[in-house]
Chains A and B, each alone.
Chain A
Amino acid sequence: MTPTTRTRWAILSLTGPAYLWLACTIFLPIAAMLALSFLDKSPLVPKPASFTLANYGAFFGKPFYWSLTRWSIELGFWVTLFSFLIGYPAAYALAKRVKGRWREAIFLLIVLPFWSNALVRIFSWTMVLRSNGIIDLGVQSIFPGAPTVDLLFTYPAVVIGLVHSYLPYMILTCYIALQAIDDSLIEAGRSLGASKLTTFRRVVLPLSLPGIISGSALIFVPVIGSFMEPRILGGTKGATLGMNIEEQFTVTANWPLGAALSFILLAIVLIIFGVLYPFLRKQGGAA
């Protein structure tokens, strides 16, 4: 064997197993699902199926699916926005104002809950938000006789639960971007006579934009595909595209329609990545 053949064998045997695994569990299944989305019968039905565009027609023809999609995108927007409004100042404080062991400790505390079970965290919100829950009891103890606060199964409950789940992503990505900004740039802005606000607006914010964008992508994508959180915290009011896809596979057993809806969800994700790609690229190796 020549050295190049040996190297080639080494590369192939090192990467082969991982990529074979990914092919069988990600890429081939996605291809299979694309094929399924054009079939007129579920594979669960023992009759032969033929190709059709009806599943996509159902989506584009029924206002119901449009409103589900709009609802999901709106939910993604609100969750991303609130995560930014809460997370960015926290990331800024951590990156620029808190130093030493404190920074390390707070940082660890912020990422820790992120590693506890997502389902468990959503479930625990039900005990905080429902009537006679923690928020309700808190309000009652401060204002006796105030009307009962029951947020469970409402739109705000879904937003709160999702913000709680995904906030660490935003803090993490913004923190990395903010920390990479050289403090001398900020000092330069200040010494050239810019006010604190102007320095922030013209120097810090633009330089941290890649972090904001990648944080937003990391939040927006899973939120528009979420079904567990809206189901637990929103009940029937939280109807999302994700919930409908889940039902097509588990309840109504209309797999081809579910597959078509999944591909529409995937298309939305791809469009978002397409729009954000130039910004993500700028961040380079950090992603």
Chain B
Amino acid sequence: MRNLADAGIRFYLILVLVFLYLPILVMAVLAFNKSPLYALPFQFDLVWFKALAENDRLLKAGLNSVLIALANTVIATSLGTMAAVAFGRYTFRGKTMMQALLFPPIAIPWLVIGTAMLVFFFWIGRAMGYPGIARGLHAILLGHVALSLPYVIFVVGARLNDYPKALEEAAATLGATPWQVFRRVSVPILAPGVVAASLFAFAVSFDQFVISYFLAPPGVTTLPVEIYTSIRKGFTPEINAISTIIILVSMGLMLIVARFYRFGGERSGNE
């Protein structure tokens, strides 16, 4: 009886996984299929990866995405870690209020945030006499950092919460200079949180479509924006090829995150 129930549970979980992976598998398989019309039977061919290698628009969009995601990671992780340290190591008036302000960037639909940035940057640009600065890679970067900051602060903050301030105080009492405390105690405590947060920030930016869509001027795109445009124009399997690469890269990144940051592991017991 027990075994039967367990088999049923396993079967159900497998069904859920099939649902989650079906479209991804289909796409990866069709990326290696020769037919441009997704026709079957399947014929293995790398023609779409070759076409992708010659598609300058897609590659340039991909490069933009990577550059923005890297810049976003550096900026959001530094600013976010600083704020997380302030929240984790000091008590001060207005702290709860400031932490509550981290929810709007997560809870407001991206559509609303993206269009609001478009409007605001347009007005600023016009007031400065340069309407052109409203949109572009710099504007997209501004938006991505805003979306990643709360995640960085939460992830690093969670790590800090696990280690009481007393560790640092103990080091200081034992005669360590502030620099030694920082170097030998704070940094090792923070490091895994910072690594997880930066991978998070990279993923948020690399995947971000809505904000980039509204802030990308004609001719300048990121990968998700370019994919969206291509889908609407009538897609080709090149999109499958690049999507397969993206999925492999993002899943690889995620596996690295999982090594540093346990989701739903033992730690969730105290939540």
- What residues of A have a CB within 8 angstroms of the CB of B254 in the complex? 111-112, 115
Q: Count the A-B residue pairs with Cβ separation under 8 angstroms: how many?
A: 253
Task: Tell yes or no: B120 within 8 A of A by CB.
Answer: yes
- What residues of B have a CB within 8 angstroms of the CB of A188 in the complex? none
- What residues of A have a CB within 8 angstroms of the CB of B207 in the complex? 115-118
Decide: A107 and B30 in contact? CB cutoff 8 A. no
- What residues of A have a CB within 8 angstroms of the CB of B6 in the complex? 97
Contacts A118-B209, A121-B24, A134-B22 given: A110-B16 contact, CB under 8 Å? yes
CB within 8 Å of A: which B2-22 residues: 6, 9-10, 12-13, 16-17, 19-22
Task: Tell yes or no: B107 within 8 A of A by CB.
Answer: yes
Q: Which range contains the number of A residues in contact with the other chain?
A: 35 or more
Decide: B146 and A26 in contact? CB cutoff 8 A. yes
B residues sitting closer than 8 Å to A (CB atoms) are: 6, 9-10, 12-13, 16-17, 19-24, 26-27, 30, 38-40, 79-80, 82-83, 85-87, 90, 92, 98, 101-102, 104-105, 107-113, 115-123, 126, 142-143, 145-146, 149, 153, 203, 206-207, 209-210, 214, 223-224, 227-228, 231-232, 235, 239-240, 243, 246-247, 250-251, 253-255, 258, 263-265, 268-269, 271
User: Would you give 16 A-B contacts (Cβ < 8 Å), ordered by A?
Assistant: A17-B79, A17-B83, A21-B149, A27-B101, A32-B123, A90-B13, A104-B265, A110-B20, A115-B207, A118-B207, A123-B231, A123-B243, A126-B231, A167-B16, A175-B264, A232-B232
* 7 other A-B residue contacts (CB within 8 Å) besides A94-B264, A123-B239: A7-B92, A19-B98, A21-B146, A113-B24, A127-B27, A127-B30, A249-B118
A residues sitting closer than 8 Å to B (CB atoms) are: 7-8, 10-11, 13-15, 17-19, 21-22, 24-30, 32-33, 36, 43, 86-87, 89-90, 93-94, 97-98, 104, 106-113, 115-121, 123-128, 132-134, 137, 164, 167-168, 171-172, 175-176, 179-180, 221-222, 224-228, 231-232, 242, 245-246, 249-250, 255, 258-259, 262-263, 265-266, 269, 273, 285-286
